[in-house]
Amino acid sequence: MDFEQVLDELFTEPPEGFVKRRDEHARAAKGSGDAALAKRISALHRPTVSAWLVNRLVREDRPAVAQLLALGAQLRKASTSLDADSLRAFSRERHTVVAALGRQAAHSGQAAGGRVTADAVRELEQTLEAALSDEDAAAQVLAGTLVKPLEYAGFGPALGAAGGGAAPVGGGAARVPAGEGAGGEAGEGKGAAGEAAAGGTAARREAERAEAAERKEAERKEAERRRREAVAKAEEDLRATREAHRVRVTEADEARAELERVRAALGEAEERDAQAQAAAEAAAQEVIAAEAALTEARASAG
């Protein structure tokens, strides 16, 4: 097994068994006499769950990841050209693609037996955002050997790398057009650059405001959806409760009716029993009378 095959196995399987499998491959390489390969394998570090999810995604669906990174190139171009409309449009598409790939990677990780937490999914999406914003981060993601999540820094100079994440590409002051590098023309170029930078800042701020408004609207819609679901569930529970009550009332009515039928039948049986008892007693009296008459008749005959 060569080094690339070892990488594919180690960075695709759940990280819980990474160290054990790595050491086994290193011992196998050393046992076969390839000390250099054994050293390279031993130097590999166990990835976090979020990094592992990204690595699996790259290996399982590289075209989708490539599409995401192509979108990143468009985003960086839109940021450089200070096109606020493009920024807003691409921002919406970015959120959609990242969320979809995040869900896909999380499901894949769970199916592989990994312990996928909400924090891991959040770091996974953060890493994909970083790959969108920076070419170096994109290259790290495509390598499929991440050991920790990357940080998203944003697009354009006004959204720079606060917090040490992946730095944006294409940031900086607007360039002076060719042929305007000296004297008053240079001053005019600087003035134009300043105006372009100011316009770019305003455009970025507008894009940020629009994105914040979109997030707020999405949150409002989600809250409304949950409210409607809660109301629908409450109504369904009420209908179920009413139906259960109706069934219980019906069953109680039927039980009472059956009890009345039993009582009526019992009354009739008791009445028949009383009548039979009276008839038996009358018959007994008749027998006694007949025996007395017979005795008297015999006495008279003798």
pLDDT digit string (tens) for 139-174? 999 999 999 999 876 554 333 333 333 333 333 333
| Residue 111 confidence (pLDDT) above 50 | yes
- Segment 124-146, tens digit of pLDDT: 999 999 998 888 999 999 999 99
Distance CA 129, CA 149 (A): 11
Residue 252 lies in a domain: no
Using the predicted structure, report yes or no on whether residue 234 has a pLDDT greater than 80: no
pLDDT for 184 equals 43
110: pLDDT strictly greater than 90:
yes
- Under a CB-based contact definition with an 8 Å cutoff, are residues 133 and 72 in contact? yes
* Assigned domain for 251 exists: no
Whether residue 263 is contained in a domain is answered as no
Based on the structure, what is the number of domains in the chain?
A: 1
Domain span including residue 46: 3-171+185-212
Per-residue pLDDT, averaged over 24-43, amounts to: 95
Q: Say what the pTM is.
A: 0.50
Q: What mean pLDDT is predicted for residues 214-220?
A: 76
Mean pLDDT, rounded, of the chain: 77
267, part of any domain:
no
265 found inside a domain: no
Q: What is the pLDDT of residue 276?
A: 76
255 in a domain, yes or no?
A: no
Give domain status of residue 128, yes or no: yes
